[in-house]
Amino acid sequence: MWIPISFALDMKRTRTYWQVRIRVQFWIV
């Protein structure tokens, strides 16, 4: 399946953003 590069970059950035957000929440807790 062909995936646009921009879409792939968006998914990668979103995944990284959520990983950082979850990590920060764990640090706060």
pLDDT at 11: 74
Whole-angstrom Cα distance, residue 19 to residue 13?
A: 10
The tens digit of pLDDT for each residue in 1-27 reads 566 777 777 777 777 878 877 777 777
pLDDT at 22: 76
pLDDT at 3: 62
pLDDT at 2: 66
pLDDT at 10: 76
Helices (H), the chain: 5-28
Q: Which residue has the higher pLDDT, 13 or 28?
A: 13
Task: Check pLDDT > 70 for residue 28.
Answer: no
Which pair of structure tokens corresponds to residue 28? 């706060």
